[in-house]
Amino acid sequence: MNLILQVGEQNKFFGVSYDTIFTTLITIAIFLLGYVFNRFYDYRRDLRRLRDIRKLVLSHLQSLLGPIDERIQAYLKLGEFLNSQGRGNYTFRQPVIHTDFLSGLPYTEVFLSFKRGPRKLRNKRIDAFHSVYQAIDFIKSQNASATLLYSQCTRESGELRDKWLGAVNSIMSDYDTWLNFDMRNRIPPSEDAFLKEFASIVRKVANLENGTEMDVAFEHLIEPLKVLCLNSKYAADTRSLNLFPRLSDAVHSYKSLNHLNSVYGQYFLEFAELLKKRREVIVNAIELIQ
């Protein structure tokens, strides 16, 4: 009886059987292995996901470069057109830049996809991450600003052109009235020196192929008429006094339109330069996360 008891006690450790201990250790080992395996699996899965996100982001950023280049050119052409005092209608179209792509991706995961990589480039990648979002926000706001600015430019320049045409039409209407008066009253041109010189100016403009264009009309109609009305010979002529307000409106609208074009032209040239800088930010980010 003592022998059996001693053998049983030898198969125990602190009162716990070796079989129980072994079974427990096996269970713990299986649990730990399962935990480690799951963690490794999750890590590999997250790593693949971040790599996929990085590829998506990279592909999207690369797809932005073409439309950005087109928009830069659109700003440059419009700015140069306005700066050169271009007249008439100008078709301005902003190429579409799809900037909403990143908003559909988890912000944190995009950040981690940027961050992951060589440790020595980590800070640069983080800076690139923030810069890309700032660049895209700028592109969105610039699109709205440029649309509003072009609308304002079109409206204001249209108002000035209407004012110009109104002044020129009033001048020509006065000319027709005075010419008809002389004809009805059989007053020969030799007896109406003012109208004779006025008629000479009108004929010269009419013979010009582009006489209706604003710059040509200003040079060959408005400026000569100013000289005519300021001539001391016609200072007392009521027709000179009648023309002064119309000439003043024409000069004011012409010069205001030139100034307006210069100001808005400079805005769009600056828009092009600002967009170039954001393009550089995106290119830098592409190079860092490739």
Task: Summarize the confidence of residues 147-156 as an average pLDDT.
Answer: 92
For 52-107, give the DSSP string.
Answer: HHHHHHHHHHHHHHHHHHHHHHHHHHHHHHHHTT--S-----PPP----TGGGS-H
Decide: 72 and 58 in contact? Cβ < 8 Å: no
First to last CA, the chain: 78
**Digit-coded pLDDT (tens) for 83-109:** 887 776 677 888 888 888 777 777 878
Phi and psi dihedrals of 271, rounded to 5? Answer: -60, -40
> Which segment of 54-58, 102-106, 177-181, 249-253 scores lowest on mean pLDDT?
102-106
The C-alpha atoms of residue 71 and residue 271 are separated, in whole angstroms, by 10
Q: What is the pLDDT of residue 204?
A: 94
Domain boundaries, the chain: 53-290
**DSSP tag of 219:** I
Q: What is the pLDDT of residue 111?
A: 81
Q: What is the pLDDT of residue 47?
A: 60
> Is residue 41's pLDDT more than 70?
no
The C-alpha atoms of residue 113 and residue 96 are separated, in whole angstroms, by 27
**Digit-coded pLDDT (tens) for 265-287:** 999 999 999 999 999 999 998 88
> Is residue 23's pLDDT more than 80?
no
The C-alpha atoms of residue 38 and residue 43 are separated, in whole angstroms, by 8
Which helix (H) or strand (E) covers residue 12, if one does?
strand 12-13
The C-alpha atoms of residue 207 and residue 193 are separated, in whole angstroms, by 21
User: Which pair of tokens denotes residue 171?
Assistant: 């001048």
Partners of 16 in the beta sheet?
13
53-290 CATH pick, 3.90.550, 2.60.480, 1.20.58, 2.60.40 = 1.20.58
Q: Long-range contacts: 131-134, Cβ < 8 Å, 24+? A: 131/281, 131/284, 131/285, 132/61, 132/102, 132/281, 132/282, 132/285, 133/102, 134/281
Q: What is the pLDDT of residue 30?
A: 66
**Digit-coded pLDDT (tens) for 212-231:** 899 999 999 999 999 999 99
Largest distance between two CA atoms of the chain: 160
Please state, rounded to an integer, the average pLDDT across all residues of the chain: 84
